[in-house]
Structure 1
Amino acid sequence: MDDFDPLRPETLDSPYEDYRRLRAGCPVAHTDAWGGFWALTRHADVAWAAADYAAFTTTVQNVVPKVATTGRRPPLHLDPPEHSPYRRAINRVLVERRVESLRPFIVKVCDELIDAMLSRGGGEICADYGAVLPIRVFAEWMNLPPQDQLWLADVARVYGAAVQSADQTTTQATSLQLYDMARGLLESRKAVPLHPDEDVTSALLAARVDGQPLPDELILGTIRQVLVVGIIAPQVVFGSTVVHLCRHPELQAQLRAEPELIPAAMEEFLRLYTPYRGFARTPTQDVTLHGVTIPKDEPVALIYASANRDETVFEAAETFRLDRPNMKDSLAFGRGPHTCPGSGLARLELSIALERLLAKTSAIEIAGEIIPTRMPEIGTLVVPVKLVGR
């Protein structure tokens, strides 16, 4: 019998009820869904599996349900030391100076999107704001020309919807389209490289291992990975954040009156509404945890969204609290060698998005049915809102 059913209909809150039950009585859970997989729900176990790549490899399967059907996409699809040159190249373009240089652009895009929603009296906060902003920001960070920015926005939205609806045909088709874009970008940067401190594709082309360039095939996979990895999660987190603020208008009012609290509030929102529950690892040998043996080579989902609500780590873990003293224990951006390299950009983007939304409104209210995501994400897919301007 399955310990849980990830295919059953869900509300925005019901998965957390399931994970609370599993943490207490079945921390190493199993289900036959999607061919069968295990799930780790406690903070200590998730943190260990995420960090110990020798025991839990990422080279076999990266998410549950399995999405990747095309080529290898470093650095997520490789473990150290093979993944390290790709991470170094990406990190080179995500230093604080480069991230902070995007602030004026982020503010500009936020204001444009909010003004458009205000002119209509509201909108759908995920599709009209949360989904568009990260695509525009990533396209700017990658130095894409305007026509490619618009194309990426369209394809990324279709790709995300296909993943959420388990539409394998469309998922694969749009993934191939993203590969085509990555291929064109790679050839463009070969012909006219930019400074590797300013452009991720140029940084990958400049990288060397034992004096040799990285293989074109794996650079291509890295660019393809980068094109969407930072697009889906921010809209999920942001939609959940807006729902929380609508459920707690006193907090909405506090953050509107004291915007300096927003970065700390965003850290707590990221903990409380961690957008992933399906990042996967594969044990390289039989692993026994809490009296349960996970056989070698069987997929294991690291339920970050459960780990970040573990009551043994976070006091009153299901509630929002500003300035938690142990926020460093949050697994919102993962742990170990595959910790999200774009965490600084994500924090900046989300904080500005919330600050501008609150600055330009006097009230935000839910205005329709909230539709939750399915695995591998957890959070909101659709959040209709009414916006009242200042």
Structure 2
Amino acid sequence: MEPTMTLVSDNLLYDTPVRTPRFPATYPQFNDFVFWNPNSWTKGPPHSLFDRMRSQAPLMWTDAGKKLAGFWSITSYEDIKTVELNSDIYSSERGSINLAMPRERPKKYQRLANAAVNSLINLDAPRHMQFRIQHKDFFIPQYVNEISNRVSTRVDQLLDEAERAGPVVDFVKVFSEKLPLFTLCEMLGIDEEDRPKIIRWMHFLELAQQFVSSPARTFLSEPSFPFLFDRNVQEMFEYGKRILEDRRRNPRQDLLSAIAAAELDGEPLSQEWLDGSWLLIIFAGNDTSRNSISGTLRLLTEFPDQRQLLLDDPSLVPAAVQESLRLISPVMNMRRTALADSELNGQRISKDEKLVLWYGAANRDPGIFKDPHRMDITRDNVTKHLAFGHGPHKCLGNRIAQMQLQISLSKILERFPNISWTGKQRIAPNNLVQAISSLEVNLHGT
């Protein structure tokens, strides 16, 4: 019998043009930055504006242009925690976690659009925990320890390749984009001969994000993209369908088998949910770790005293990873939707209005972190950051991400103690993650 469970896409709140909030704004509105436009983020987050917003407009109404619904920008550490801990009021499911959900989408991309919302990350209680707990065996400390040896070996191999290509290399290309994909494929149980397909599909998914915001620039950099995208997306979903069907019949000790065997509302996952799980794990398992690795190298060049502390005392690496995650905040935002009229920090919020949680702003809140823009790996509260979110939706893969960062940082500094960022980088247009698409380094220093 076909599963009958309700999909997120069945009841999704799509954007309609809303330029002003229903209740009067308590705080001023700053228009220095176009938050909803991915092209605005190619120079990094607007930290000076975040500072102003936290102190003067911690819940700031933010216009999203003529076609989308405006939203409440939340920049205070404590306010973000409050929203994360009250999922009965502030929903991940009602409008998804995406900042914008335009209704007008080409029909040929409907499967991709639905898969982007029909997944664990967009569920509320109780279904969220039902789904989440069935994947936990691949994110607990025991499993992280088991996979860490394979990650360590791969780090050595990638650094060998970087040294042969060096001394000046694009660290994203030679290391940062390769390690997370390796780890992901090991966890999923992707056979070696199929791994180049995952790399290719990831490339097309990233280009698709850029194409939406900058079609001309994307076409100039990769003219074949519009003609190959459809085929690659279909291949990706058909491969996922085929391999998950196989894991249902022939389970292995891997994450794909756990996904294939998962149930929701007491029923096996329908194909729509399997599509969403497949897309989420490929995307979420790669993007954030890649940008964290690259961002950490950038920080060590910007704060040479902290690099020296690590060289003098490698036992500080775990703390350095936490501090790097705080400063980088690789996932820049998540969105929640009010299920009823509510009030937060003196601001009345109407039912169905969007709240966008700016983690990078919260992680530099001076009320929580002293001298917040400075890297300090000896902070007493170095683990208090919200880079992985907070509460029931805290990133399931946070231990895997930290393990990769710790091994990478330890081995990079051991092998290339003077590695430095040359100042050249490229950040792709993306308003969800800090998309460092290129970072030039000199392995032996300047």
TM superposition score normalised by structure 2: 0.79
The Cα shift of 1:145 comes to 0.6
One-letter amino acid of the counterpart of residue 380, structure 1: I
SS at match of 1:76: helix
Q: 1:108 aligns with which of 139, 147, 153?
A: 153
Q: 1:363 aligns with which of 394, 413, 418?
A: 418
Q: Could you tell me how far apart the structure 2 residues matched to 1:66 and 1:175 are? A: 20
Q: Do structure 1's residue 348 and structure 2's residue 389 form an aligned pair? A: no
In structure 1, runs of 5+ residues without a counterpart are none
Counterpart position of 1:277: 332
Counterpart position of 1:184: 242
Counterpart position of 2:315: 260
The Cα shift of 1:307 comes to 0.7
Q: Do structure 1's residue 98 and structure 2's residue 129 form an aligned pair? A: no
The Cα shift of 1:10 comes to 5.2
Q: 2:278 aligns with which of 219, 223, 229?
A: 223
SS at match of 2:388: coil
SS at match of 1:226: helix
Counterpart position of 1:377: 433
Structure 1 stretch displaced more, 17-26 or 113-122: 113-122
One-letter amino acid of the counterpart of residue 152, structure 2: V
Q: 1:24 aligns with which of 38, 41, 55?
A: 55
Change (3 A) 1:82 1:160: same
Change (3 A) 1:209 1:380: closer
1:203-254, Cα deviation, whole Å (9 max, x unpaired): 2344456764344432342232112112101122222211111122232233
The Cα shift of 1:66 comes to 4.5
Contact 1:12 1:380 in 2 (8 A): no
TM superposition score normalised by structure 1: 0.90
One-letter amino acid of the counterpart of residue 159, structure 1: L
Counterpart position of 2:17: none
Q: Could you tell me how far apart the structure 2 residues matched to 1:278 and 1:148 are? A: 32
The Cα shift of 1:298 comes to 2.4
Contact 2:244 2:256 in 1 (8 A): yes
Contact 1:73 1:224 in 2 (8 A): no
In structure 2, runs of 5+ residues without a counterpart are 1-28, 103-111, 216-224
Q: Could you tell me how far apart the structure 1 residues matched to 2:409 and 2:207 are? A: 24
Change (3 A) 1:145 1:325: same
The Cα shift of 1:375 comes to 0.9
Q: Could you tell me how far apart the structure 2 residues matched to 1:276 and 1:18 are? A: 18
Contact 1:94 1:345 in 2 (8 A): yes
Change (3 A) 1:220 1:46: same
Q: 1:41 aligns with which of 75, 78, 89?
A: 75
The Cα shift of 1:293 comes to 2.9
Counterpart position of 1:309: 364
Change (3 A) 1:161 1:126: farther
Q: 2:288 aligns with which of 233, 236, 240?
A: 233
Structure 1 stretch displaced more, 94-103 or 317-326: 317-326
Change (3 A) 1:301 1:381: farther
Change (3 A) 1:384 1:222: same
Q: Could you tell me how far apart the structure 1 residues matched to 2:305 and 2:378 are? A: 17
Q: Aligned pair count?
A: 386
Contact 2:326 2:385 in 1 (8 A): yes
SS at match of 2:52: helix
